[in-house]
A and B are shown apart, each in its own frame.
Chain A
Amino acid sequence: MSAARPAPTPRPAPVGGDPDLPDVHAAQADREAFAVLYRRYLDPVYGYAFYSLGDHHDAEDVTERTFLAALKALSSFRAGNGTFRAWLFRIAHNTIANAHRTRARRRTEPLPPAFDPPAPHSDPAGVVTRADELRRVLHAVAELPDDRRQVVLLRFVDGLSSREIGQVMDRSEGAARVLLHRALRDLSARLPR
C-alpha cells in the first residue's frame, strides 16, 4: 500500500446494490487492493470520529482502530447483510462508543469541537460569517441526544442513507428516519435564522 497521498478514490455511481462491492471483492482476494477502499473512506471515517469526539488525536486513534479492524475482518464481510460503507461505519460507530466509555472511566469531559475553517476565501467577512455559522451548528448538534447526533453526522457529514444508518446503529430504516426527523425538528428550534 503506497504511503504517498493520492486523491481519494471516488465512490462509484450506485447501479443498484452496493457500488463498493467490486473493490471489496478485490480486497478480499488481494490485501493490497484494500488501499482503494482506504483512500475512499479515510476522510469520511475520520470526519465522523472527529465530529463525534471533538478531538483530532482521539479521532485519529478511532480511525486507525477502525481500518485495522476492518482489514482484519474483511473476509467475513457478506454483501447480503448491507453495504460495505454501512459495515465500515458500524465498526467506526462501535469504536467511537468504546472511546466514549474509556473517557467516562477516566472521567474526562468531551472537548468542544475545535475546528479550523477551510481555506480562506478572498472575502474576509465571508470567512468570519462561515466560521460563526459552523460554531453555531456544531454547538447545536453537540446538544442533541447521542442517537440523534449520530444520525445527523452520518447523514450530513458522510451522506449515508437512512437504510445504511439503520445498519450502522442496529435500528430499522424507519427508526433511523424518525430519529432524523426529530433531530431536524430539535435543530430547527435551536438554530433560528
Chain B
Amino acid sequence: MPTRSPAERLDEAVDRLLSDRHPGVDAELIPLVDTASRLRDALPLVPTGHAFESRLAARLAHPSRITSAVAAIGEATRRELRHPSRLLVTGAVSTAAVGVSITALVVWRGTHRHAANR
C-alpha cells in the first residue's frame, strides 16, 4: 500500500475537523491541525447587509435596460480599445466631420447675410 504524503494526511484531518469529527492525526501534524482549528474558529462567515442583499436580488430578478445598455457600451469600449488604430481613425473621422459641418454652416450663414445686405 503506497504511503500517503503529509499533505494528503493533513487534508483528510482538516476534512474531519471541518465536519466536527475528531481529526486524529500523528504527532508530526498536530501543530498544523491545531492551527487549522484556530482558523476555523477565528474566521466567521461575514453576513451581507440586508439592503445590499435586497438590491442585488432585485437586479438578478429584473436586469434593467440601463444595465444592458451600460454592458453594451462597456463591450463597445473594450472592443475599440483592443484596436487603438480603429479608435484613432474613428476620432479623426468624427473630428473632420464636425469641422466640415461647422465650415459649411459658417459659409451658409455668410452667404445668406451677404444676400440680405444686398
Binding site for B on A (CB under 8 A): 1-5, 32, 34-35, 38, 42-44, 46-47, 50-51, 59-60, 63-64, 67-68, 71, 115, 118, 130, 133-134, 136-138, 141, 152-153, 155-159, 161-162, 174, 177-178, 180-181, 184-185, 187-188, 191, 193
Contact = CB atoms under 8 A, between A and B. Distances in A.
B80 interface: no
Interface of B: 5-8, 10-11, 14-15, 18, 31-32, 34-36, 38-50, 52-54, 56-61, 63
A156 B39 contact: yes
A155 B15 CA distance: 9
5 contacts: A44-B45, A136-B42, A156-B18, A156-B36, A161-B15
Majority secondary structure of chain A interface residues (helix, strand, loop or mixed): helix
Contact of A178 (B7, B32, B48, B61): B7
Nearest to B8: A177
B39 A67 contact: no
A133 B38 contact: yes
Contact of B7 (A4, A155, A180): A180
Given A177-B8, A180-B7, A46 B38 contact: no
